[in-house]
């Protein structure tokens, strides 16, 4: 007679009790190994030992469940290493730098500062800046590179940069510059994007032969433009506000720009079509960067850049660490590393308080499961 579900669950309960006891015993032995490694100056990670151990374990398992054992023990090795790092207080110097930033950062985000923005007056970066700062002294630059250089050379204390759009995706150039410059994110915000077709007063839609705008704005309106204005030339420029400025300064009556209501008013233009974006829920996320780390009260988001080794399972090892610590992953983005063939860095946004024990353990442990690690900052997002 087959066993009832209650009997089977009772068996599972008994097995789970044994597993819990066995894992606790294994962790206790791991702590003794950690003490030995510390005394003899040995690293926490012993790749050869783990590889041999995993091969041995899989040889004991039935063929039909070997893949499950592979996952289980890979995670168990991660947990064991993390516990050894806690026991030996490894990598505490990295967290000490973050703790110092927490202690030295003022309790209130500044109301006024010299801030670098890409574009011209009326750009979405201008709007984001005024959302983050009550009275910013804004310096405008033509390119993202110039914004980074202004902050690096001390001309400005902060820089405002777009990092991603809800429909067009990430701003790849900014990711590459974040990798190049070791700057920190200190705050972020999201701006609702309302793309409008703007032109000189008196110009009609049927008069337009060319439209200028930022490449992402053109991309976000591609379906609308293809359907309603298929023969119009599309030209990418540095910024939507610069596009509006170009139209305002031009003598042409067949030129229009995709920009915002604010730019239309600012440059004396007329809005011919509003809400042009193919997706009505169109937002751009902007980050505020600084040369030194600043961590303000309430910081509940952390951004990291990680370079994983070029071998199977390397990304899994990193993700397993997040999972083991119970940290929610809000974003994962891969980017090729310039001048390094077939190597990628991974950008993570993590949902975790900077004051949590999980955050401390992650910062102290993550260096052991990747080749390179760059802490980009802990901050909160202004809605």
Residues 173 and 321 reside in one and the same domain: yes
Shared domain check, 249 and 113: no
* Inter-residue contact 383 to 190 (CB < 8 Å): yes
Of these residues, 44, 189, 240, 284, which one is catalytic? Answer: 284
Lowest mean pLDDT, pick from 93-97, 122-126, 192-196, 217-221: 93-97
Q: Which is more confident, 180 or 157?
A: 157
Kindly report the CATH number assigned to the domain that includes residue 337.
3.40.190.10
- Given a contact cutoff of 8 angstroms between Cβ atoms, the answer to whether 227 and 273 are in contact is no
Same domain membership, residue 165 and residue 102: yes
pLDDT score of 90 = 66
Mean pLDDT computed over 247-259: 95
The dihedral built from the CA positions of residue 241, 242, 243 and 246, taken in this order, carries a sign that is positive
Domain boundary pick from 250, 278, 306: 278
Q: Are 213 and 256 contained in the same domain?
A: yes
Closest CA to 208 of 170, 239, 178, 235: 235
**Among 153-162, 247-256, 335-344, the least confident range:** 335-344
**Of the candidate ranges 136-140, 265-269, 277-281, 304-308, the one whose mean pLDDT is the lowest:** 277-281
Q: What is the chain's Cα-based Rg?
A: 27
Out of 41-50, 156-165, 321-330, 362-371, least confident range: 362-371
pTM of the model: 0.80
Instruction: Give me the pLDDT at residue 81, please.
Output: 84
Same domain (yes/no): 215, 172: no
Given 249, 278, 307, the domain boundary residue is 278
Shared domain check, 56 and 39: yes
Respond yes or no: is residue 284 known to be catalytic. Answer: yes
Two structure tokens written together for 151: 């902050």
CATH of the domain at 12: 1.20.59.10
Q: Give the pLDDT confidence score for residue 303 in this predicted structure.
A: 93
pLDDT higher than 70, residue 341: no
For residues 204 and 348, membership in a common domain is answered with no
Whether residue 342 has pLDDT greater than 70: no
Whether 352 is catalytic is no
**Do both 83 and 214 map to the same domain?**
no
> How many domains is the chain built from?
3
Give 363's pLDDT tier (boundaries 50, 70, 90). confident
Of 326, 369, 368, 318, nearest to 348 (Cα)?
318
Looking at the fold, whether 129 and 86 belong to one and the same domain comes out as: no
Catalytic residue among 183, 286, 346, 348: 286
Q: Is residue 58 domain-shared with residue 120, that is, in the same domain?
A: no
Average pLDDT over residues 121-134: 93
pLDDT-based confidence at 278, cuts 50/70/90?
confident
pLDDT at 343: 72
Of 254, 278, 302, the residue at which a domain comes to its end is 278
* Cα separations in angstroms, 167 against 147, 193, 345: 24, 11, 23
Please tell me the predicted confidence (pLDDT) of residue 198: 96
Residues 188, 289, single domain; the answer is yes
Question: Quick one: pLDDT at residue 27?
Answer: 94
State pLDDT tens for residues 182-226.
899 999 999 988 899 999 999 999 999 999 998 889 988 999 999
Domain that holds residue 336: 94-192+284-382
- Whether residue 178 is found in the same domain as residue 239: no
């Amino acid at each position: 007679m087959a066993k009832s579900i209650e009997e089977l669950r009772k068996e599972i309960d008994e097995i789970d009790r044994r597993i819990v006891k066995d894992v606790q015993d294994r962790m206790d032995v791991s702590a003794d190994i950690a003490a030995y490694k510390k005394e003899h100056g040995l690293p926490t990670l012993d790749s050869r030992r783990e590889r041999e151990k995993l091969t041995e374990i899989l040889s004991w398992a039935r063929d039909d469940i070997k893949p499950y054992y592979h996952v289980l023990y890979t995670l168990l090795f991660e947990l064991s290493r993390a516990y050894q790092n806690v026991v030996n207080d490894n990598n505490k110097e990295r967290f000490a730098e973050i703790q110092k930033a927490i202690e030295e950062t003022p309790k209130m985000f500044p109301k006024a500062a010299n801030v670098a923005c890409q574009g011209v007056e009326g750009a979405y970066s201008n709007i984001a800046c005024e959302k983050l700062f009550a009275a910013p002294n804004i310096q405008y630059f033509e390119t993202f590179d110039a914004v980074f250089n202004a902050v690096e050379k001390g001309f400005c204390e902060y820089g405002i940069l777009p990092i991603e759009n809800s429909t067009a995706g990430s701003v790849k150039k900014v990711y590459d510059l974040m990798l190049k410059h070791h700057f920190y994110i200190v705050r972020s915000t999201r701006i609702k994007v309302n793309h409008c077709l703007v032109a000189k007063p008196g110009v009609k839609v049927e008069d337009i032969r060319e439209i200028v705008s930022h490449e992402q704005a053109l991309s976000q309106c591609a379906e609308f433009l293809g359907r309603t204005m298929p023969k119009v030339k599309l030209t990418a420029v540095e910024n939507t506000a610069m596009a509006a400025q170009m139209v305002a300064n031009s003598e042409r009556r067949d030129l229009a720009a995709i920009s915002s209501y604010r730019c239309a008013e600012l440059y004396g233009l007329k809005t011919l079509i509003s809400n042009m974006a193919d997706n009505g829920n169109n937002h751009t996320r902007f980050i505020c960067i600084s040369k030194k780390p600043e961590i303000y009260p309430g910081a509940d988001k952390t951004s990291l850049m990680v370079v994983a080794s070029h071998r199977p399972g390397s990304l899994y090892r990193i993700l397993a660490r997040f999972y083991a610590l119970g940290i929610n992953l809000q974003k994962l983005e891969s980017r090729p590393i310039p001048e390094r063939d077939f190597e990628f860095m991974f950008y993570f946004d993590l949902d975790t308080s900077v004051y949590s024990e999980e955050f401390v353990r992650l910062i102290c442990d993550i260096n052991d499961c990747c080749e390179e690690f760059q802490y980009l900052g802990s901050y909160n997002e202004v809605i």
